[in-house]
Amino acid sequence: MKVPSVSFFLFLFLLSPLRETRADEMKNDRVYIVYMGAATSSEGSYRYDHAQILSSVLKRKENALVHSYRHGFSGFAAHLTEEEVRSIAQKPGVVSVFEDPVLQLHTTRSWDFLHYQTDLETDSKPGSDGDSQSSGQADTIIGILDTGIWPESESFSDKTMGPVPSRWRGTCMESNDVDSFKCNRKLIGARYYNDSDASSAVPHTARDMIGHGTHVASTAAGNSLPDVSYYGLASGTAKGGSPGSRIAMYRVCTFFGCRGSSILAAFDDAISDGVDVLSLSLGSSAVFELEFSTDPIAIGAYHAVAKGITVVCSAGNDGPSPRTVVNIAPWILTVGATTIDRDFESDVVLGGNKVIKGGGINFANIKKSPAYPLIYGSLAKSNSSKVDDARNCKPNSLGEDKIKGRIVLCDNDDGEYTQTEKLEEVKRLGGVGLILIDDEIRAVSSRYGAFPLTVITSKDASEILSYINSTTNPVATILATVSVEQYKPAPAVAYFSSRGPSYATKNLLKPDIAAPGVNILAAWIGNDTAEAPAGKEPPLFNLLSGTSMACPHVSGIAATVKSQNPSWSPSAVRSAIMTTATEKNNLKAPMTTHSGSVATPYDYGAGEVSPSGPLQPGLVYETETADYLQFLCNYGYDISKIKLISPTLPDGFTCPKSANADLISNMNYPSIAISKFNGNESKKVSRTVTNVGTDDETQYTVSVSAAAGVDVKVIPDTLKFTKNSKKLSYQVIFSSNGSSSVKGAVFGSITWTNGKHKVRSPFVVSSD
């Protein structure tokens, strides 16, 4: 066996004992596995590149090496800093760098990322509370309005479930499709609603033909399933937010969309069936600016909430423009989408082995070394086309002679052609691969099958262009996708996530909360051959993005909160989720948007949801049905319009003469929103909190994170709860601080703390 001197040097370190590392050191310096692919043919010897990387690591820190792999495959495990991980990941020969699974919680990934984020904030033990279904917790039933469900998925097997709760009054509707649709003790109910249009050929079944409903349901409440992946990517344990919950599916959507009439009927049924939580990854486009009184989701949700059901809805995908958030009724918990720390990386390797990280999912199988000529689209135009069209690689703008056998770098700012069209065009002309420049879609990993397509940022594109300028013969290759975790920064607000302010009123902050909604792996329908890459079986788990995916994360958490606190109202559940959210990312810095700028509550509401925080919120803001009626009065509705939403009203109910839009800010909501702030007069809002902590006797003090130009006073600044005093009120007074005037919207927060619980309410003050 050939033993180079470097190997011998390393061999000594394998024998030295692992240094004990303290928990805080572990956070900065975790164990990573560097996977380098095949081992060499000479048994036990190191690949030269493997040895090189190892020695550079060991130079920095003697006892960094944990294990070295050189028999079946090549690689090593070592304590590495994040900087080292980044640097090593770029080296040729390194296939992937990922954290040692032994030290991690389950991957795949969003739940573990959320727990990790919470633990970072609270310094609590990893893996504590939140997802176990211990005895003594109430059964919860999550109703989902969607495209249907695939009952055979392992996500919905009932092996671990006890008998169906006797209070359940739902049903499992028979289906007329070929495969019989069966419910079980996990999927305890299913209904479908057919189009009022008799000519439509929608089958009579709750069986999902699209995939969306199955994905959403498994994210909310799917069983914990180890070893799943998307064709080897993103592998780990897939589980729902509340794996102990039951699921009831209400199929209101078909290929055309989801009819309002079906949605209303489903709400009606779900209420009488007895669900605890309703999850709707549906909505209209913000362009329509639906009125509460004519919006079936707002109407249905009002009734559900009045009956004690927590209703969670997605915020919409019309971002990043402002005023795009939908499902904005105050009785709804509105969820925006963020990324997680898993990235699907497909790297570009340039001549000289410079690596540029790109994103996207491809199963490319071209040469791993930069062997292909690289050309920028604008230099590859056909005789008759315009440079600008060729720069964007538009169909029929490129010259075959310039594309064939080459890797093509394309812009994506035309707004006319999709990635798929450009991929097809480059492929048609014999191109070997495509590097697409697009900051927005870089994070949302699209699928490109076997074709080497990767998406890079404009910043990285400049580097590639410099390289192209620097040599007469630029070359490159594109590597197949690997999933990389601990990507930083994360979370970041997804570019498509709809943003506030609400088009209805600036005196209510929407969205309420954010949750993972980019590249989420969850269950899929069983027969989707269209989704399978060439030569592969249909996927049982699929990756999807959207506020659709974010919403069931929160529904699952809501169900968990409800199972521990069965008597809590929907507003208490919502409050617990909002006041325990986090605004920081995994760099311990303020969360950013997709573009890198600091995000605001218009982007993420109270912040990224914490799976465990809501279980112990300390205090909650309760909003009663009467408060929602008052909201409608203040919004400007008269009794007849209010009756469109709630046909029955309390005896003698009228809107007070004092009703006005400003008073919307006074609704007992976990966040605060003020508008028309001109600095000349102060604005005052009041809030009431209920002590739900274990200590009856406890004292909370307030701290304010102020916004520029605004003076914020909280009166009183301490709240003393006692056994007899569970609900206390305070006022917040916003006034100009004289130094600068508010233009547009400014943000801050007020936080009540008793040393054990932190209760944070974001606020927005808008000049208009």
Partner 1 sequence: MAEESQRTELPQEQPQQSTTIPQEQPHQSTIFLPGSVGHPSGVEVAPKTTWPEVVGMTVEEAERKIREDMPRVQFQVVPPNCFVTMDFNTRRVRLYVDSEGKVSRAPRIG
> Hey, which residues are catalytic here?
146, 212, 548
Could you tell me if 488 and 587 are in contact, meaning their C-beta atoms sit under 8 angstroms apart? yes
Q: In angstroms, what is the minimal distance from the CB of 300 to partner 1?
A: 11
The values of phi and psi at residue 298, to 5°, are: -65, -40
Q: How far is the CB of 441 from partner 1 (least distance, A)?
A: 6
DSSP state of 164: P
H or E stretch covering 77: strand 73-81
Distance in Å, CB of 455 to partner 1, minimum: 10
Taking the least distance from each CB to partner 1, the nearer of 10 and 277 is 277
Cα→Cα distances 276→170, 245, 247, 559, 690, Å: 12, 10, 10, 7, 22
267 touches 189 (CB < 8 A): no
Closer of 264 and 371 to partner 1 (Cβ) = 264
Report in angstroms how near the CB of residue 319 gets to partner 1 at its nearest. Answer: 9
Rounded distance between C-alpha atoms, residue 460 and residue 439, angstroms: 10
> Is there a cis peptide before residue 614, judged by omega within 30 degrees of 0?
no
Six token digits for residue 355: 């690596």
Residue closer to partner 1 by CB (options 229, 281) is 281
In angstroms, give the least distance from the CB of 362 to partner 1.
14
**Which residues, listed in sequence order, are joined to residue 42 by a DSSP beta bridge?**
none
Q: Measured between alpha carbons, how far is 77 from 104 in angstroms, rounded to an integer?
A: 14
CA distance 108 to 678: 48
Buried b / exposed e across 414-444, counting CB within 10 Å, b at 16+? eeebebeebbebbeebebbbbbbbbbbbbbb
CA distance 448 to 445: 9
Look-up: residue for tokens 């929907």?
Answer: 570
Nearer to partner 1, 175 or 392 (CB): 392
Closest listed residue to residue 281, CA positions, set 240, 330, 314, 253: 314
For the chain, the residue count is: 768
Return the number of the residue (212 or 303) whose C-beta is nearest partner 1.
Answer: 212
Would you call 662 helix, strand, or coil by DSSP? helix
Helix (H) or strand (E) segment spanning residue 738: none
- DSSP, residue by residue, 683-728: EEEEEEEEE-SS-SSEEEEEEEE--TTEEEEEESSEEEE-SS--EE
Helix H or strand E encompassing 541: strand 541-544
The least distance separating partner 1 from the CB of residue 297, rounded to whole angstroms, comes to 7
| Smallest gap from residue 390 Cβ to partner 1 (A) | 10
Scan for tokens 């914990």, then name that residue: 224
Secondary structure of residue 307 in the 3-state scheme? coil
Q: What is the spatial distance between Cα 130 and Cα 120, in angstroms, rounded to a whole number? A: 16
Per DSSP bridges, beta strands 745-753 and 718-721 are: unpaired
CB atoms closer than 10 angstroms to residue 656: 10
Dihedral sign, Cα of residue 251, residue 257, residue 259, residue 264: positive
Is 215 within 8 Å of 544 (Cβ atoms)?
yes
Distance CA 663, CA 404 (A): 66
> Rounded to the nearest 5 degrees, what angle is found at the Cα of 646, between the Cα atoms of 642 and 652?
75
Q: Which is nearer to partner 1, 48 or 255 (CB)?
A: 255
Taking the least distance from each CB to partner 1, the nearer of 409 and 572 is 409
Q: Is the peptide bond before 151 cis (omega within 30 degrees of 0)?
A: no
Distance CA 222, CA 239 (A): 5
- H or E segment and range at residue 54: helix 48-60
For residues 263 and 296, is the Cβ–Cβ distance under 8 A?
Answer: yes
Alpha-carbon torsion angle 291, 297, 298, 302, nearest 10: 160
- Residue pair 688/621 in contact (Cβ under 8 Å)? The answer is yes
DSSP state of 116: H
To the nearest 10 degrees (0 to 180), the angle between helices 48-60 and 82-89 is: 160
Q: CA 453: distance to chain centroid?
A: 24
